[in-house]
Amino acid sequence: MRVLVADDHSLFRDGLVSLLEAGGFEVAAQVGDGRAAVQAALALRPDIVLLDLAMPAVSGLEALREIRAAWPQARVVILSASDDEDSLFKASEAGASGYLLKSLKADQFLEMLHGLERGEAAMTRQTTARLLAGLNRAAAHPPAAPDALTAQESRLLQYIAEGLSNKAIAQAMSVSENTVKYHIKNILQKLGVHNRTEAAGYAIRSGLHKPERMA
């Protein structure tokens, strides 16, 4: 997969590029600010855009919004040194395909990116839990009812809200990963959402899934 790397710290950026190339990814370009990231993303149309959250000129969140507005199919992953819940929530609302901390181990980081090929969000289960907890607190009213989900789709949606991968969902439901992908596509269509993270947010707001309270 072709990747665009955007980070204003050249030492970190160079290290990330080396890691990606060693992991089998092709680095389409690397840039040092948000404005250049937007321009490069729209010009090169890489498979993945990695955006540092805090960049000069244009922040990672603003760059994410601009890229998604011009190119809704873009798979953009936010990189951050902080697990700040507000930034995580805003990135999700803006349509990020993932939110990864810079403290992740190299093999875990690469596995999260490979998960995008399988239609999974590039987000650890811990980060997913924080996001869902935030969505739960922010939800004052349930959303309008979508087209009816089947019993199997409702069950699968709950697994998505729990942060399970396609492989784990397939094992839990005793179906193939292709079947899981097919049902996820239908769920997103029925709910009128763009990705798994938004679908998980719907599950929380509608009361279909209630995350356990963290101690």
Give the pLDDT confidence score for residue 100 in this predicted structure: 94
Q: Are residues 142 and 75 in the same domain?
A: no
CATH number for the domain including 142?
1.10.10.10
164 secondary structure, DSSP code: -
Q: How many CB atoms lie within 10 A of CB 186?
A: 16
* Structural domain range at position 181: 135-205
Q: Are residues 98 and 19 in the same domain?
A: yes
d(Cα 96, Cα 59) in Å, to the nearest integer?
14
Beta partners for 122? Answer: 98
CATH number for the domain including 80?
3.40.50.2300
- Per-position pLDDT tens, the chain of length 215: 999 999 999 999 999 999 999 999 999 999 999 999 999 999 999 999 999 998 988 899 999 999 988 998 899 999 998 877 778 888 888 889 999 999 999 999 999 999 988 888 898 888 877 776 666 555 544 554 555 788 888 889 888 888 888 888 999 999 888 899 999 988 888 887 778 877 887 777 776 655 543 33
User: Which residues lie below 8 Å from residue 204, measured CB to CB, with a gap of 6+?
Assistant: 132, 135, 136, 139, 161, 210, 211
Residue 212 falls inside a structural domain = no
Tokens (6 digits) for 176? 């193939």
Residue 90 falls inside a structural domain = yes
Global pTM reads: 0.66
H/E element holding 30? strand 26-31
Q: Are residues 76 and 147 in the same domain?
A: no
- What's the full length of the chain, in residues? 215
Provide the residue type at 176 as one letter: S
Give the pLDDT confidence score for residue 124 in this predicted structure: 87
Largest Cα separation within the chain, whole Å, is 50
Q: Are residues 141 and 115 in the same domain?
A: no
Q: Are residues 40 and 85 in the same domain?
A: yes
d(Cα 148, Cα 42) in Å, to the nearest integer?
36
Q: Are residues 114 and 148 in the same domain?
A: no
**Final residue of a structural domain among 72, 92, 122:** 122
Give the pLDDT confidence score for residue 135 in this predicted structure: 60
